[in-house]
Chains A and B, each alone.
Chain A
Amino acid sequence: MWKFIVRRLIITMPQLILLSLIVFILASMMPGDALTGQIDPNISSEAIEEQREKLGWNNPWYVQYSDWVVGVAQGDFGQSYRFKMPVTDLIWDRMINTFWLSLISVFFIYALGIPMGIISGRWNDKLVDQIITGYTYLGFATPIFIFALVTLWVFGFHLGWFPTGGSVAPGLESGSMEYILSKIHHLLLPGLSIALIGLVGTVQYLRSEIVDTKQKDFIITARAKGAPEQRVYNRHIFRNSVLPIAAFFGYEITMLISGSIFVEQIYSYPGMGALFLESIVLRDYSVVTALVLLFGLAAILGALLSDIILSIVDPRIRIK
């Protein structure tokens, strides 16, 4: 298996290089740059042109690309023009925020999704299953940006149970108990919004797997041997049905760092998704390229992780 992992990692490199090349070319085709927005009669256009020249934005894209590659090789992703700080520092700040948000949503997805899937699979076509399946259809059909707005309105503004924006209450001392509690409080609503929509896939996969496994021969054998129903479900059916979920797990990890653009926007939550969108709109290219590369890396690693997990939970799958 180590061989496999190493081989996959080696393939990753050219993929990333290709990705960065495409992003760079596309970015150079996009109209405008971070200074185009400065259409302001109080700022002289010479000053803007001078900055452009100084920052090397007038160079052809391949020159900029090679400069960038040299920097990246040394771990330097450049400077964000907009934030006037190193891209790595900027992304690191945001990644921590997104990591916590994603962690809590992944937690809710599994904590709610797996029991719901089991219940609806075990009692399929009963009322409880119909309710859960009905919910999943609705969840499939509801766009996350509508759902997030509705939850924000109902629980944030109307009932006032949760804060309505940001990642932490202003003015708290970083690291104190209050600060941590405030962070969690701020995470709950956006995390739940993501999870309540995000879990529908998990529920449906699990349900159909359980319904499928229930009728397999080895289950009938287990029952014939006199295994109690609880044991049949927990030991025999569940373990076999959880496979596709496990396969998905790697991809969920990807979400840990890429974040959710819509939810972060609606909740003014400063995470990676929001950073990505803003950087595109405001043409902060050094951030955009760094983020695309990072997301690409995460996706590739997520896929690899999924394969590895799958081979662990299902001994029949052997990676060669």
Chain B
Amino acid sequence: MSKSLMGKYLFVLMLALFLVLAACGGDDEGAEDPSDDGSEGTEETEEQKEEEEEEAVDPEDQIYDIDDFSTAVSNDGDPIDGGSLNYGLVSDTVFEGTLNFNFYGGTPDFEILQWIDEALLSMDENYTYTQDGAATFEADQENNSITFTIRDDVQWHDGEELTAEDWVFSYEVIADPEYTGVRYGTAGFTLIEGIEQYREGETDSIPGIEIHDEKSFTINYERLTPSLLTGGVWTYALPKHIFGDIPVAEMEESDAVRQEPIGIGPFMVDSIVPGESVSLVKNENYWRGEPNLDEVTVRVINPSVVVQELETGGVDLVSSFPVDQYPENSQMENVEFLGQIDMAYTYIGFKLGDWDEEASKVNYMPDEMKMGDVELRRAMWYAVDNDTVGERFYNGLRWAGTTLIAPSHPDYHDDSIEVPTFEPEEAERILDEAGYEDVTGDGFRETPDGEELVINFASMSGGDVAEPIANYYVQSWQNVGLNVQLLDGRLHEFNSFYDRVGNGGNDDPDVDIYMGAWSVGSDVDPSGLYGSNAMFNFPRYESEENDRLLEEGISEEAFDVEYRQEVYSEWQEFMVEEIPVFPTLYRSELRPANLRVTNYNIEQGSGVYLHELGVTQEEPVVAE
């Protein structure tokens, strides 16, 4: 018996060892990489030197700087004729398959759409429309109108000409009361003259839109705002010859959206495996020129296997890459990591009121809220060390934010503004001066009136670092004597977090401060987030100066970019003084590309388009 037992143990041990060894395999490779790189590196000598110096540092402890990343691939070889490319759509859900810009809702669908359709107006690096797209525009400030002209050679995938009517048709569909998507309601629609009449069914077409001929039309607006030219104008057409006969309410579920989607982009849909993959072939008649690639396959891959897919060459490009996986994979030898500043920021918000459902605006009441004192808020900004958070938790790929316009909008982000940085002494001094003192001797400060001050901090769950980061902030504030506690003692799931913070208008009075994040749109105008009648103004902050600045930013004078910059600089500075929220971290976005990929640039307005994208060899480069 004892012998057989022994055998059993041995076997279990062996199997366990097998599993452990198999699991270690991945790490081993990672550890070997640096030395490989040193002997192979033929790129730039400077970089190589740097790498050698850093070899002693564990890549997982290294601090990276987004400025060191390029936005374009360094492979400048000539693309081979034909060739096919695999694009990994990184998502833990399937794609919904609503493959039309006018109806889609989820990001996965967008990732597919960008291959098959495109906006008729191009954007530059500041997300302003340019004249380089499939259509051009002319704004007439006297008459508050914009005239659009479509280029002659733009065709739908089925060979039909793209006409002005197609573009106007998308306006008519989105503004239709039967329309089932969420695109209506932005300035690009609501400002059109007579659009309300159309919505109420009084007219068959939108009175403010005049079609001149096959290729041009004019939209008359009630007033012009610069937002229209930074993403406000709806720039996606809808083929009338296909959708014209379908009732608006049934369009999004029609085959023309789900099975045979159509666009004007460089690639056409060949076949769709619902939820999994889309095979695309080149559109030879693409107006910018024939694409280099013959085929593109877009395939959903789970975020947990994205590294393996890249290493084995299963995908050449991916839609996103989890930044927290970068440090241990920074030495992956068959891909090049591109990076840029992400259009997003993380922030701490202070609840200063609630939502007035009836008036549909914020109800700012600082005197009744715990966080109503701006000195308290300022002290809390001084008390936290955001740069360290970025370095410790994100290896420098996130860094301390300064103002509420992220540097992803380089022309509008004002980096000259001085903002509080980590100075706990300063925080304590401000609190002392403002009268927040510890009178009861329990180690925590009381309010100037001598009442106990417990601040409830709501933070979202998700990701490995969510909890340590939340705890770090709580501790930092406790270090300066503020009794901050996690709301309910735990983190909150996305939906319930935003529910309690105020999405939907039922602000939970228990929430005093919260940590959220915004990804910002192409238009720099922040009134959708901080305007006094914006539901997403979760801090519920309002002031005349704020309203004035936000209004100026989208006024007619703001068509002058310099003027607009001044206004938004002033607004950023004003927000640093008032602190309804303060940005904690700016973020970066990383995109790995297989070494065979050429003509690829992730920067907005780079002038490198998808039809130029190519590969320099038939097979993807595979990691050894």
Contacts and interface: CB of A to CB of B under 8 A. Distances in A.
Interface of A: 30-32, 35-48, 50-51, 82-86, 93, 125, 127, 130-131, 133-135, 137-138, 142, 149-150, 152-154, 156-158, 160, 164-168, 170-174, 265-268, 270, 274-275, 278, 281-283
Given A40-B521, A82-B105, A125-B4, 8 more contacts: A45-B535, A83-B97, A84-B96, A150-B23, A153-B25, A154-B22, A164-B301, A170-B273
Given A47-B183, A83-B96, A266 B302 contact: yes
B12 A167 contact: no
A135 B186 contact: no
Given A41-B520, A138-B12, A47 B184 contact: yes
B472 interface: no
8 contacts: A32-B499, A36-B499, A44-B186, A50-B185, A82-B106, A127-B7, A266-B304, A282-B93
A131 B11 contact: yes
Interface stretch (B305-313, B367-375, B420-428, B552-560): B305-313
Contact of A43 (B23, B26, B182, B496): B182
Contact of B503 (A36, A82, A93, A158): A36
A51 B249 CA distance: 12
A84 B253 contact: yes
A113 B485 CA distance: 53
Contact of A45 (B93, B499, B534): B534
Most buried by B among A160, A174, A266, A268: A268
Given A38-B105, A152-B305, A85 B258 contact: yes
B196 interface: no
Nearest to A139: B15
B221 interface: no
A83 B97 CA distance: 7
Contacts of A37: 494-495
B56 interface: no
B276 A268 contact: yes
Contacts of B495: 30-32, 36-37, 283
Given A46-B185, A165-B299, A278 B94 contact: yes
Nearest to A131: B11
Interface of B: 4, 7-8, 11-12, 15-16, 19, 22-23, 25-26, 92-94, 96-98, 103, 105-106, 180, 182-186, 231, 252-253, 258, 270-271, 273-279, 295, 297, 299-302, 304-305, 308-309, 311-312, 314, 493-496, 498-500, 503-504, 518-523, 526, 528-529, 534-536
The 7 tightest CB contacts between A and B, nearest first, are A32-B495, A44-B185, A47-B185, A171-B279, A41-B528, A31-B496, A45-B535
B520 A166 contact: no
Contacts of A138: 12, 15-16
A149 B23 CA distance: 10
A85 to B, nearest CB: 5
A271 to B, nearest CB: 10
B311 A157 contact: yes
Nearest to A174: B271
Contacts of A172: 271
A43 to B, nearest CB: 5
B253 A42 contact: no
Most buried by A among B23, B185, B258: B185
A93 B304 contact: no
Contact of B11 (A36, A130, A158): A130
A47 B12 CA distance: 60
Contacts of B504: 36
A41 B253 CA distance: 26
Contacts of A83: 96-98
A157 B308 contact: yes
B216 to A, nearest CB: 27
Given A36-B499, A150-B22, A41 B278 contact: no
B184 A164 contact: no
B22 A171 contact: no
B305 A170 contact: no
Contacts of A39: 498, 503, 536
A172 B536 CA distance: 45
Contacts of B523: 42
Nearest to B302: A268
Given A41-B536, A154-B22, A170 B279 contact: yes
B185 A43 contact: yes
A160 B305 CA distance: 14
B182 A51 contact: yes
B300 A165 contact: yes
A43 B304 contact: no
A164 B186 CA distance: 42
B299 A170 contact: yes
Contacts of B16: 138
Contacts of B518: 41
A36 B98 CA distance: 19
Contacts of B522: 42
Contacts of B314: 164
B106 A84 contact: no
Contact of B276 (A38, A50, A154, A167): A167
B4 to A, nearest CB: 6
B4 A130 contact: yes
Contacts of B94: 268, 270, 274-275, 278
B85 to A, nearest CB: 12
Contacts of B528: 41-42, 44
Contacts of A283: 495
Most buried by B among A39, A50, A149, A154: A39
Contacts of A266: 302, 304-305
B273 A130 contact: no
B324 to A, nearest CB: 18
A276 to B, nearest CB: 12
Nearest to B93: A278
A84 B521 CA distance: 25
A234 B275 CA distance: 47
Contacts of A131: 11
Contacts of A170: 271, 273, 276-279, 297, 299
Nearest to B307: A157
Most buried by A among B11, B276, B314: B276
A17 B301 CA distance: 38
B499 A42 contact: no
A205 to B, nearest CB: 20
A149 B26 CA distance: 12
A281 B92 CA distance: 11
A150 B184 CA distance: 47
Given A36-B503, A134-B8, A157-B308, A168 B273 contact: yes
Given A38-B182, A164-B309, A130 B19 contact: no
Nearest to A163: B314
Contacts of A127: 4, 7
Nearest to A44: B185
A150 B301 contact: no
